[in-house]
Chain A
């Protein structure tokens, strides 16, 4: 389908999932993880997607150009645990056609 981009997501158990993420539903990466139930309900997207918790933290493994980090996300990540230089909050990254082939790994649960 033209409407989907292929994304590789490694879940918290280290299992790799290749999924098709729709670009026409205004979804973000956190919602895609929930869409495919790649993390148990109640352990991801706890704040609902307001960059006010870090339950959707992920590590970006490819060099895709992603939306620049806004203040809220940067502030949250400065308080989160297990943060690496490639950490992002999934809820702040909208799915776009440019993300074809993106690879991410979910950060461990707090």
Chain B
């Protein structure tokens, strides 16, 4: 069981800045995120795109913002459970919460801060009859262990970077790789496209374009797929695996079943005070919350995180008085023993 002061669900910019603000108040944080890396949308959807409304940054790339936030909160030693989705929440007799992920990892904390953005990123599933039946029986939406495909026949569908990269990688592992895409053009890094072209020419990748997978075949597990080219009859291809790679899309997911008040696909919070939800001790900050006048902006998430930490402090340190300290005056004492402070002014008398 992982124990912490504030359990943050979502490692996007709001979640990461919470670590810093909590650290100033001597509270430790642990973050859970369904994605394998920190940064949320900023690293998953648009790492190379600029943002122009982060105060004091006339322009910053979303990926760089993530880097800076990680650097800023580093001395407060946040813990991470990445690549796992927060699934259930259970209130304990002592008032704390236990949050369990889809992989069974348990986390305990007196305060839970949901900074889940638009939700957890889930693979987009093609609309094929019975596709759910074949999940884990030949159909997979992401590749966790490439060795599973050793000496097997694999069909990959999609036209983006992941479809290209995995086709290249698996061409050395699988006995047969077929890449199917709806168009003749691929959207990916130029060298990946060139490499796939090369592998196609040398016969290491079978390419079927423009075409779409239109049916899945097999009694107890996947045995074949049917692929259809425009204005042509469907063709059956025997395969052990079908891996559709159509990117990720965010879904509020299990958090929607936690008994929280939901409005407009977001969690209702008290914005007059501290962004607490209808469950005391559970807060929602950043894009995942809603209140009158809500703006889904990173800079608003930072503000919400800061106020939320004050309320968390009162829950964790009941009755303890608090006075605001400025980092410029007090410096920052990291949990790792480091200290940052303003250099002392030199005092020298003139004779």
Contacts and interface: CB of A to CB of B under 8 A. Distances in A.
B49 A81 contact: no
Contacts of B250: 46
A52 B46 contact: yes
A40 B262 CA distance: 12
Contacts of B41: 47
Interface string A49-86: 01011010000000000000000001100110111000
B127 interface: yes
A82 B290 CA distance: 30
Nearest to A109: B249
Contacts of A78: 159, 181-183, 185, 187
Given A78-B185, A79-B246, A43 B45 contact: no
Contacts of B247: 53, 79
Interface in B234-280: 246-247, 249-250, 252, 264-266
Nearest to B157: A79
A81 B118 contact: no
A42 B46 contact: no
Given A53-B45, A79-B158, A79-B159, A41 B187 contact: no
A42 B252 contact: yes
Interface string B5-45: 00000000000000000000000000000000000010001
A41 B49 CA distance: 23
B138 interface: no
Q: Is the interface of A mostly helix, strand, loop or mixed?
A: loop
B183 A42 contact: no
B126 interface: yes
A50 B124 contact: no
Nearest to A43: B265
A110 interface: yes
Contacts of A50: 45-46, 49
Given A47-B46, A52-B45, A78-B159, A42 B185 contact: no
Nearest to B187: A75
B156 to A, nearest CB: 13
B334 interface: no
Contact of B246 (A43, A47, A81): A81
B124 to A, nearest CB: 6
Contacts of A110: 124, 249
B126 A42 contact: no
Contacts of B159: 75, 78-79
A99 to B, nearest CB: 27
A48 B118 CA distance: 11
A58 B115 CA distance: 30
Contacts of A40: 264-265
B127 A82 contact: yes
Contacts of A46: 118, 249-250
B160 interface: yes
Contacts of B49: 50
A81 B213 CA distance: 12
Most buried by B among A41, A47, A55, A79: A79
Contacts of B160: 75, 79
Given A53-B249, A78-B182, A81-B127, A42 B266 contact: yes
Interface string A21-58: 00000000000000000001111001100101101000
Interface in A2-25: none
B264 A42 contact: yes
Interface in B143-183: 158-160, 181-183
Most buried by B among A42, A46, A110: A42
Interface of A: 40-43, 46-47, 50, 52-53, 55, 74-75, 78-79, 81-83, 110
Interface of B: 41, 45-46, 49, 118-119, 124, 126-127, 158-160, 181-183, 185, 187, 246-247, 249-250, 252, 264-266, 290
Given A42-B264, A79-B158, A79-B182, 9 more contacts: A41-B264, A41-B290, A42-B252, A42-B266, A47-B46, A50-B45, A52-B45, A81-B124, A110-B249
